[in-house]
Amino acid sequence: MTSLAGKSAIVTGSTSGIGKGIAEALAKAGANVMLNGFGDAAEIETQRAALAASAKVKVAFHGADMAKPAEIRDLVASAGREFGRVDILVNNAGIQFVAPVEQFPEDRWDAIIAINLSSAFHATKAALPGMRQAGWGRVINIASAHGLVASADKSAYVAAKHGIVGLTKTVALETAGSGVTCVAICPGWVLTPLVQKQIDAKAAASGLSPEAAKAALLSEKQPSKEFATPEQIAETALFLCSRAADQITGSTIALDGGWLAQ
């Protein structure tokens, strides 16, 4: 079990799905955690308080809009004030929109690039000086199988996730030997609220039952025919914070049920 006692983390987009799973794993390993995301304020406060009580660490929340650089900088600065420093940054926030390129709304392109890619740049830029000073840090970018291969109708998402993989490699080179590492986790299909929307849309468009739509979605890409889980991704993130991962940097780690092996 990796102990992160005395460490502090920011997990963007952590009020649900993958980010929530990662935040919970880091807190249970002993790290103080800054949550971030959208949602009902009362529900978020309940989530924050419950995690702080169960993990016995400091858990805070910052509602930064990850499309706004000034708010991202304030998120990182707030975590530094709250916890003393930021040791672990998990760039997870993301949105999705699906349409052919010639029909893709320009405002949706701009929003996906801002939240799925540019936010990771702004957060990393703000967090790195403190990590360098401490001589230890972890930047974990939640990319996607779509950071390595493409699918039709997802131009903005695929472009952003490819960009995240490139950003990961560059940050890794720039921080090599400093005690800071940067890695991209590339999940395949994960049953999150974002993917559930795609399943619902597929079911509605094809007349399939929800279970049949899930099976059809998996069979298109994921040979295991099983979803990866937020818990599996969280355990991978936890491993990347361990001493065993000190020399894993600039890499992509695929949790994709064989998607990329095809």
Of 56-65, 105-114, 209-218, 239-248, give the lowest mean pLDDT range: 209-218
How far is residue 149's CA from residue 255's CA, in Å, rounded to a whole number?
14
Question: Which pLDDT band holds residue 198 (cuts at 50, 70, 90)?
Answer: confident
How far is residue 88's CA from residue 18's CA, in Å, rounded to a whole number?
16
What's residue 9's pLDDT? Answer: 98
CA 242 to centroid of chain Cα atoms = 18
Rounded to the nearest 5 degrees, what angle is found at the Cα of 29, between the Cα atoms of 134 and 196?
110
What's residue 2's pLDDT? Answer: 84
8-188+229-255 classified as CATH 2.30.40.10: no
How far is residue 106's CA from residue 89's CA, in Å, rounded to a whole number?
29
- Does 217 have pLDDT greater than 90? no
Q: What is the mean pLDDT of residues 52-61?
A: 98
H-type alpha helices, 135-207:
155-175, 193-206
How far is residue 134's CA from residue 80's CA, in Å, rounded to a whole number?
13
Q: What is the full DSSP assignment across 40-106?
A: -HHHHHHHHHHHHHHHTS-EEEE---TT-HHHHHHHHHHHHHHHS---EEEE-------B-GGG--H
Domain residue limits, the chain: 8-188+229-255, 189-227
Of 125-139, 186-200, 218-232, 241-255, give the lowest mean pLDDT range: 186-200
Q: Model confidence over 57-77: pLDDT tens digits?
A: 999 999 999 999 999 999 999
| pLDDT over 70 percentage in the chain | 100
| Active-site entry in 61, 109, 157, 189 | 157
Q: What is the pTM of this model?
A: 0.95
Annotation says 157 is catalytic: yes
How far is residue 232's CA from residue 101's CA, in Å, rounded to a whole number?
33
